[in-house]
Amino acid sequence: MQSIIDRFISYVTVDTQSDASSSTTPSTQKQWDLAHKLVAELKAIGMQDVSIDEHAYIMATLPSNVSHDVPTIGFVAHFDTSPDFSGTNVKPQIVQNYDGKDILLNAEQNIVLSPDYFEDLLLYKGQTLITTDGTTLLGADDKAGITEIVSAMEYLINHPEIKHGTIRVGFTPDEEIGRGAHKFDVEKFGAQWAYTMDGSQIGELEYENFNAAGAVITVKGRSVHPGYAKGKMVNSMRITSELINKLPSKEVPERTEGREGFFHLTDIQGSIEETRAQFIIRDHDREAFENRKELLKKIVNDLNQQYNGAVTLEIKDQYFNMREKVEPVFHIVEIAEQAMKSLGITPIIKPIRGGTDGSQLSFMGLPCPNIFAGGHNFHGKYEYVPVESMQKATEVIVKIAELTASKYKQ
């Protein structure tokens, strides 16, 4: 367990915050610091074909140690951290044998991690937690995933009696700004399927995410002196608010959960002359997703009849539910499930209310469910990870490798 702690701390103390406003890959120079370190470490533990490309995508191979054919499988994690919160000078604190009470993260600023707000903490009574010092995020998202993958590969190398096929490892920059999969060379990776180690609570196993689109609505108005406006003024803000009111009022993020989809107004800026409103559209069900886009088009058409073509609508698909790509190869989920159960972990299978790099990779030809990495409260100062969860995730990786090899034995 100490080696997992040491490895994790050696990663989170390197600042790798990504930056959406940058157009380079990786988006920040500092991500190279950890990338180079990971390359050296993968070589040091005995991984083969360790490569890093000009965009800092890292790949490595653990060769098969069996004579029969086993599909090549992969494990993927990202080394950047969220732009939402500082990742500079992370000072991890270790809480041994957690007693289920408040954890004082920072005495000076009186920052407390409390089970009163974060009841998940109570799942980990008696375990070893790693927390922040209250001034940064921790970076368990997703350096816990990287720790687990490297530790599992090291374990397999040191235990040749465990039989496995070829395993590929992929570490990416810029996941937190939605670009982790963009420059991922699926062909070079050469795996038949993979798992992102990027979920939260122990047991999480996800192969469904939203279908997602973004919509921009621009309404043109006509400004006239209000005293002389009758029959002349067209107030674009009022037309926009009419449009918003025609959308189903209960289908918004703050009123939906589980598999319920929504329209979400994310930004609106207006004057009488012109109003621009941005929406995101989300639904797990593909047909319902298409219907949502149609509904928006119909509302815009109706308003254009009424207001002389004042409204323009631009809809762009963003990503799709990976379920469509995972279902035809459902054994990849079953292997992960079986691996967890054989380790005494209860799989928690639920649809993701968002997207993952795995969903993009799935549509790029690499079916890629998501497995827990163990952390909680991502992207902020209350982030923490139980070491036992990282240990279990490491064991899940080893077990998946083993089960895949035995499943394909004649």
Least Cα distance to 335 among 73, 146, 158, 147 occurs for 73
CB atoms within 10 A of CB 390: 30
198 among the known binding-site residues?
yes
176 among the known binding-site residues?
yes
- Cα 318–Cα 323–Cα 326 angle in degrees, nearest 5: 120
Structure tokens at 214: 């973004």
Tell the smallest beta-carbon distance from residue 305 to Zn ion (Å). Answer: 45
Q: Which residues contact 73 (CB under 8 A, 6 or more apart)?
A: 165, 166, 167, 168, 191, 192, 193, 194, 195, 400, 401, 404
Binder among 41, 80, 133, 142 for Zn ion (CB under 5 A): 142
Q: Which of 80, 154, 206, 208 is catalytic?
A: 80
How long a stretch of residues is the chain?
410
Binder among 41, 141, 204, 251 for Zn ion (CB under 5 A): 141
Q: Which of 142, 175, 208, 402 is catalytic?
A: 175
141 among the known binding-site residues?
yes
> Is residue 15 within the footprint of Zn ion (CB under 5 A)?
no
Tell the smallest beta-carbon distance from residue 82 to Zn ion (Å). Answer: 8
> Is residue 198 within the footprint of Zn ion (CB under 5 A)?
yes
175 carries an active-site annotation: yes
| CA-atom Rg of the chain in angstroms | 24
Q: How far is CA 33 from CA 40, 232, 272, 346, in A?
A: 11, 61, 50, 37
> Is residue 148 within the footprint of Zn ion (CB under 5 A)?
no
Write the DSSP assignment of 84-134 as a string of letters. TS--TT---EEESS--SS-EEEETTTTEEE-TTT-GGGGGGTTS-EEE--S
80 carries an active-site annotation: yes
The piece of 56-64, 162-170, 198-206, 281-289 that touches Zn ion (CB under 5 A) is: 198-206
Q: Based on DSSP, count helices (H) and strands (E) in the chain, helices before strands.
A: 10, 17
| CB of 203 or CB of 355, closer to Zn ion | 355
Tell the smallest beta-carbon distance from residue 195 to Zn ion (Å). Answer: 13
| CB of 362 or CB of 404, closer to Zn ion | 362
Tell the smallest beta-carbon distance from residue 338 to Zn ion (Å). Answer: 25
379 among the known binding-site residues?
yes
Tell the smallest beta-carbon distance from residue 35 to Zn ion (Å). Answer: 16
Environment class of 67 (CB within 10 Å of its CB; exposed 0-12, middle 13-18, buried 19+): exposed
The piece of 94-102, 106-114, 191-199, 239-247 that touches Zn ion (CB under 5 A) is: 191-199
> Is residue 383 within the footprint of Zn ion (CB under 5 A)?
no
Catalytic residues: 80, 175
Residue numbering of the annotated binding site for Zn(2+): 78, 141, 176, 198, 379
Residue numbering of the annotated binding site: 78, 141, 176, 198, 379
List contacts with Zn ion (CB under 5 A). 141-142, 198
